[in-house]
Every structure is written in C-alpha cells, then in structure tokens.
Amino acid sequence: MRKLLFGLTLIAALAFADFEGSYVVPLDHAAIQYKTAPVTDRAFRLQQELHEGKTKPEYDSVHGYLNAVLKALHVPESSQVLVYSKTSFQAPRIAPRLARAIYFTDDAYVGWVPGGDVVEIASVDPRQGVIFYTMDQDAAAKPRIDRRDDCLQCHASGTTAGVPGLMVRSVFVDRTGMPLFNAGGFVTDHRSPLSQRWGGWYVTGTHGSQRHMGNVFVEERDHPDALDREKGANVTDLHGRIDIDNYLAPSSDIVALMVLEHQTRMTNLITRAGWEVRVALSDQKTMNHALKEPEDQMSDSTRRRIDNAAETLLKYVLFTDEALLDAPVKGSVAFTRDFQQRAPRDHAGRSLRDLDLTRRMFRYPCSFLIYSEAFDSLPREVKDRFYHRLLEVLNGTDQTPVYSRLTAADRKAIYEILLDTKMDLPSYWRSGQAQLKQ
C-alpha cells in the first residue's frame, strides 16, 4: 500500500507544473483508456456513416477523397496552409514543390500530399482528445477511415502537453525540405515570436518589418541561423516557388497559420486539463479506499492538481504570454471571412473570433475554443474552478501581474460577450457578485 500511495503522490507532484515539457499521462490509466474507450469525434462519426452506406463520398483523379472529406467534416478550403519540411510520416513524398497541405477547423484537421496514398485526419473527441485516422486514396465502392494510434509516436509527448495532441513545428530545412536536425527547431504557438515561426512552411500575406523563417532554405549547413529571411518576407504569390495549381487554394495564409498555432496548443491544454482531473479524482478514490476514508473526500494535493489545471488553461485562454506584433499582419480575405463568420455574437455584434492583427491576434483576447465541445465536456470540478477564476480576472478582483495585459476595456468586453453567448456560465456570473470593478 505504501508503494501505491508513493506512486500516486509522485504523479501528483509531477502535475503541478504548467504542463510545459510535461510527462506523458499514461494512456491506459483506468480513468483514460485512450485506445479502448468509446469516441464520438467527427471522423469517427463519418466512418460510421461510410460503413453504414449513409455517405458516399465523391472521388476525383487529382485530389482523391480530399474534397469529400473536407466537405463532410465542414473544413473550409480557405484554411489551407502548406508545409514543405519532411516532418510527417508521408515525408518521402514531400518536397518544396510538392508541399503537404493542411486544412482545419476548430475540431478537425486534414492533411494531404499530391500523389499520396492517404488523406490524414486528426479529429478532436470531446472526452478523449485528438484521435488520428487515415483514409486510403484508392477509389473504392465503400471507402473507409482507419484509426491510426501509431501516430502517437510523435503526437504524444512533452511537446503536446503530455497527451495525444497536435503541434506546429518550425525547423531549419535544406532545399530538399530535409530538416537539419543538428540545428534544432521550435514548437510554436501564440507565445512564439515571429522570428521563430514557420521554418519549413510557405507563408503568404504581409507582415511589415517583422521577419519569420518561412519560404526560405538553409544555404550553409554549418550556419543554419544565417537564413535569408528577406527572401521569404511579405510573399503574396507562391507561383514560381511551388506548383500551386495542384492545390485547392492559391495560398498558405499567414493568419490561418497564426490561428492554427493558437488552437493546437489550446486543444492540447483542454485535453490535458480534462485528463489531469480525471486521473486526480481516480487516484483520490483509490487512496480513499486504501485509507478507509470517505469516498468523496478530497486531499489538498488533489485540489492543487485541479486548481493548477484550471489556472494553466486560464492563462492560455486569456493570451497572457502572447507575442505581440511589431507591425500589422494581413492575410487572405477568404480565410478571415470564413473564420469570423462562424462566430457567436453578442448584442453589440462582438465576437471572440474578431481578429485584430495590428498589435495582437484577436480584438478581444479570450480563446474562441471556450465554445468548443471539448471545453464544454471538461470535468465539472475543473470547469467550476476555471469559471470562478475567469470571473475574478474579468471583474477586476484579480489584479496580479500575470493578467496585467488585459485592460479594463478588454475585461469588460470579454465579460459581456461571454454573458451573451456562453450558455453554461454559472448563475453567479449574472448576479451582483459579478459586478465589474471600475
């Protein structure tokens, strides 16, 4: 028993960090059962429809089932971003003139390479997090989608917050698209300076005097940092760099890339918060049983694990460490339109999807994924704590430095938007307790 309790205490201690470079939560933990528990994500539901013959996707000789998958999963073509680094399991087919296209929406991601054997799908299950699939590109009377847990070799590590998840990698690449592994690289999100972003990616759009790593190659292997970033700056047309006519859109949009970076880590943190609390409560129950304590008793360490998960989520939701822009960013009209039109709006027409792109990404710095099914499915214990802390920040009770970037106007706007558009807010948000401090 002592060994069991020591093991549970050790796991709890490891959980107190902010999940940066975190240990991997055991996939087979009784509270998780990632590979065997039922799932209900979009790709799984699509596979069920295919199996039952309810859906018959169209096939074309150029893109295979890509268009059909995007349509079925409600993923817009305008979200297209192009990566030419050989950093996926389809690496042998990827090259600078045959980049891998990624399309995405809030809870589904689709990857495609010209001439590739499969369409790649990553779909977010509300409880289990990101589930990986492929769909064969051979025309078939009854095509199928297969789950691919072997993707976890790369997609379940400290870089994905210790759970099966997603990441945007920025690497130094040569002219074949091969990463220079001795040069290192970055996993990027909204906290990353632009100077570290998009190595091995095409980037279209304008960004003024700021420079990134996209659109260029390492010319001197012994000096990978000596990128000619000027050649990759403010590119608005990819003709001459890639056979762009092979793709569904003519761009690899800079704003789409920024949104993708934000939401990949946001998705990972939602998953980790849910898993962390489910494991903590399960471990607590085991300890209570071993010590003959009441089943619902909660130790200080379990409470800290829940509070830490909520606070880590809150800091990222409110963009506390966002890398601010030095100049305005402008991407494609199509992506901006498609992204913003999916927004729930308050009585004044405001939305958490409203883009800013002058000094920061969003006009109202609170993640739009607070509306996601995955967020809504978080365990009650962590959601309760999250909403309590979010209100303390927005009503001005919490004035700690970590949230100091939020102006009084920011806090008021976010509070009012959520009050109008987030239906599961606790009742005390609408009471006198929620009154905003002046």
The pLDDT tens digits for 270-287 are 999 999 999 999 999 888
3 within domain boundaries: no
238 within domain boundaries: yes
The mean per-residue pLDDT over the stretch 362-381 comes to 98
Phi, psi angles (nearest 5°) of residue 212: -130, -175
221 within domain boundaries: yes
| 353 and 223 within one domain | no
| 315 and 410 within one domain | yes
Domain finish residue from 255, 281, 306: 255
In 3D, which of 221, 157, 220, 168 has the Cα closest to residue 196?
A: 168
12 within domain boundaries: no
| 53 and 160 within one domain | yes
| 242 and 345 within one domain | no
Q: What is the dihedral of CA 148, 153, 158, 161, to 10 degrees?
A: 0
Give 16 or 376, the one with higher predicted confidence: 376
Find out whether 287 and 299 touch, Cβ atoms under 8 Å: yes
| 325 and 188 within one domain | no
What pLDDT digit, counting tens, does each position of 299-347 carry?
Answer: 899 999 999 999 999 999 999 999 999 999 999 999 999 999 999 999 9
| 140 and 193 within one domain | yes
Give the residue numbers spanning the domain of 359. 265-434
| 307 and 247 within one domain | no
| 274 and 248 within one domain | no
Strands 108-112 and 129-136: unpaired
65 within domain boundaries: yes
313 within domain boundaries: yes
| 306 and 251 within one domain | no
Q: Helix 333-340 to helix 254-290 angle, to the nearest 10 degrees?
A: 40
Per-residue pLDDT, 17: 59
Per-residue pLDDT, 6: 40
| 108 and 251 within one domain | yes
8 within domain boundaries: no
| 239 and 180 within one domain | yes
The count of domains in the chain is 2
Per-residue pLDDT, 126: 97
| 417 and 278 within one domain | yes
